[in-house]
Chain A
Amino acid sequence: EAGVAQSPRYKIIEKRQSVAFWCNPISGHATLYWYQQILGQGPKLLIQFQNNGVVDDSQLPKDRFSAERLKGVDSTLKIQPAKLEDSAVYLCASSLVLAGQETQYFGPGTRLLVL
């Protein structure tokens, strides 16, 4: 079974530029998450999709961040314009619920550095 794919793996941009990240979840997984992980901290949920609908985006800075999940499969996360404090690893995860237990599978992440 292929895992969660993310690209690019690394990105360096200057502040005020825009950037986009792509995620391809595990086939058949209805739920997709985007997390922000700042160095030395735990992942922080940015947005949660169920199929192509948004379940939770309460912690997404909507003035600069946007995300979409077209056709309930792939997803993109965009930052425009980027700030220095956006430097972090952006993790995508997808999940499956079986027998009442959810298992979340994470991708390798995209490491973003904003200069």
Chain B
Amino acid sequence: QQQVKQSPQSLIVQKGGISIINCAYENTAFDYFPWYQQFPGKGPALLIAIRPDVSEKKEGRFTISFNKSAKQFSLHIMDSQPGDSATYFCAASGGTYKYIFGTGTRLKVLA
């Protein structure tokens, strides 16, 4: 029940295309869903986050879509750029901000 399942494991997208990464959770007590971006040799950095009271949140080229009934949420990267090539992690937390991370998606954007 504490798992967050993330897919795909890896993704290759052409420059200008849309990258979509999906996550699913079981624990209905989760109430905060952030996405992190991690470059090699660096710690993860918060990209965008959502709470279950909204179905979508957009910040620049990054959008989170949230489906509470299906217990799923996804990250969409519009107009993907080579600089977006990184590993992306979804996460979920509730209450005391204890975070459960997904397994990560390695994104490569081809120039």
Residues of chain A whose beta carbon lies under 8 Å from any beta carbon of chain B: 4, 31, 33, 40-45, 48, 55-56, 91, 93, 95, 97, 101-109
Closest B residue to A33 by beta carbon equals B99
- Cross-chain contact B49 with A101 (CB below 8 angstroms): yes
CB distance from B10 to the nearest CB of A (A): 10
- A27 shortest CB reach to chain B, Å: 18
Binding site for A on B (CB under 8 A): 6, 32, 34, 41-46, 49, 89, 91, 93, 96-104
Contact B41 A108 (CB under 8 A): yes
Given contacts A107-B43, A108-B43, contact A42 B103 (CB under 8 A): yes
Question: Which residues of chain A come closer than 8 Å to B98, judged between CB atoms?
Answer: 45, 48, 55-56
A95 touching B104 by the CB < 8 A rule?
no
B66 to chain A, nearest CB (A): 15
Could you list some 22 contacts between A and B, CB below 8 A? Answer: A41-B103, A42-B101, A42-B102, A42-B103, A43-B44, A43-B89, A43-B101, A45-B98, A45-B100, A48-B96, A55-B96, A56-B96, A101-B49, A102-B32, A102-B93, A102-B97, A104-B46, A104-B99, A106-B43, A107-B43, A108-B43, A109-B42
CA distance A41 to B41 in the complex (A): 14
User: In whole angstroms, how far apart are the Cα atoms of A107 and B104 in the complex?
Assistant: 18
Tell me which residues across on chain B come within 8 A of A97, comparing CB atoms: 97
* A-B contact sample (11 more), CB < 8 A, given A42-B104, A97-B97: A40-B103, A42-B89, A42-B103, A43-B101, A44-B101, A45-B98, A45-B100, A48-B96, A91-B43, A93-B43, A105-B46
